[in-house]
Amino acid sequence: MNNAYLCLKLFFMLKKLSFFAAILSLILLTSCSTDFSLNAPYKRTPVVFGLLDQNDSIHFVKITRTFLGEGDNNEFAQVADSSYFDQVDAKVYEINTNGDTLRQWQLHDTIIPNKESGTFYAPDQKVYVFYANDLDQTMTYGFGAILDEGKYAVNAQTQLIENFSFSFIVTSPGFTFSFGSATSTSTGNYGSFISSYTEGKHGALYNTKIDIRYRETYADGSTSDKVIAWSKGDVIQEKPESPSSATINFGGEEFYTTIKGNLTVDNNVIKRQILGLDLVTAIAHTEFAKYMEISQPSSGITQSTPQYTNINNEGEDGALGLFSSRHIVSVKNIQLSSGAMEELCTGQHTGTLGFCSTYPEHSTKSFYCN
């Protein structure tokens, strides 16, 4: 390999997450430099990435380091130990409004076998974990780690997303989305569903989607449960410290065209059945949103990507990464209204896709597949 420093990238998986799949997917943590010799003096730089969510009970922080070797760094990148510190003593602690430290959690290492293959080692990756199902959205949370017996000491702080809520009651029994016609005798009529919510303090970026969950039954009797993600894209909150209310529109006809765009007529599929709809909003803290924005690929003539980090290093060598928060809120298993189901089964966009159509016992009076 030429005298070049291998650009370090850290991938951290966040429960699936676009924003969701970043909420969570590929994040660039370091930048390339090729203007020094491989034999030049070199010190490790800590790289930390962690996101807290008060809706989670298991919280992960990834702690790695940059490296430089004599030889082919592509080979070193495939060796996990090249990216790990020899010793890690890390904690997350709770801070009240007076600056007092309350609860503390010692982080323990664990192996997660879900890392995608690529430049760096896979599929196993070491991360650090603590368990808490009662993080307080009004508190500040700090992170601190002593690395390699005191050679490095890093720290960071974050707030959580406060007071986000949907502005309508959708958890009551019998609540339905009415994407189709209002009655089961008039297909082809569409009504939008307006999702209203109260913004969360410290939240800067929102992505709301509906997961359309359905089941396919095949000619051999087997079944497969699948999901169509109907996302409305990212929305920037202009005043994260002064939340207000907001709405997002899920158009009725778009619901059916989205399903049509993701499915095809398949002779091997004898039945398709809607299982339910999950309304999901993911919110990024201001620091997380800034990190994602700055880490976007450069479109300028210099093709350079600036670094952003909120990780502090008490030594002189700096640190890279992010310790912040995100908040994922969902309302699960919402059902379609009778009119919406009839439109799904017989309507112009989805009528040929096999929803209930092979089951004559489902008359025009009821289009719910069980």
Burial class (CB in 10 A: 0-12, 13-18, 19+), 264: exposed
180-189 confidence digits (pLDDT tens): 654 444 566 7
Q: What is the residue-wise DSSP string for 66-133?
A: ----SS-HHHHHTSGGGGS-S-EEEEEEEE-TTS-EEEEEE-EEEEE--PPPSSS--S-EEEEEEE-S
* Three-point CA angle 131, 201, 295, nearest 5°: 75
Give yes or no for a contact between 181 and 220, defined as CB atoms under 8 angstroms apart. Answer: no
Grade residue 1 by pLDDT with cuts at 50, 70 and 90. Answer: very low
CB–CB of 77/121 below 8 Å? yes
Residue-wise pLDDT tens digits, 192-215:
777 788 899 999 999 999 999 999
For residue 118, pLDDT over 80 is answered with: no
Alpha carbons 359 and 74: distance in angstroms, whole number: 57
Angstrom distance (rounded) from CA 83 to CA 182? 58
320: CB partners within 8 A, 6+ apart: 8, 29, 30, 45, 46, 47, 48, 66, 307, 309, 311
d(CA 364, CA 357): 11
What integer is the mean pLDDT of 256-266? Answer: 95
pLDDT in tens, 316-362: 678 899 999 999 999 888 888 888 888 888 888 999 999 874 434 43
Average pLDDT over residues 172-179: 59
pLDDT-based confidence at 7, cuts 50/70/90?
A: very low
Judged against a pLDDT cut of 60, whether residue 173 lies above it is answered with no
364 pLDDT above the threshold of 60: no
What digits encode the pLDDT tens for the residues 17-41?
444 444 434 333 333 344 444 445 5
Total Cβ atoms within 10 A of residue 126 = 18
Q: How confident is the model at residue 141 (pLDDT cuts 50, 70, 90)?
A: very high
Instruction: State the pLDDT at residue 368.
Output: 44
Which tens digit of pLDDT belongs to each residue from 273-293?
999 999 999 999 999 999 988
- Domains of the chain by residue range: 10-162+285-326, 165-282+330-346
Between residues 9 and 216, the one the model is more confident about = 216
Say if residues 196 and 246 touch (Cβ distance below 8 Å): yes
The confidence score (pLDDT) of residue 295 equals 77
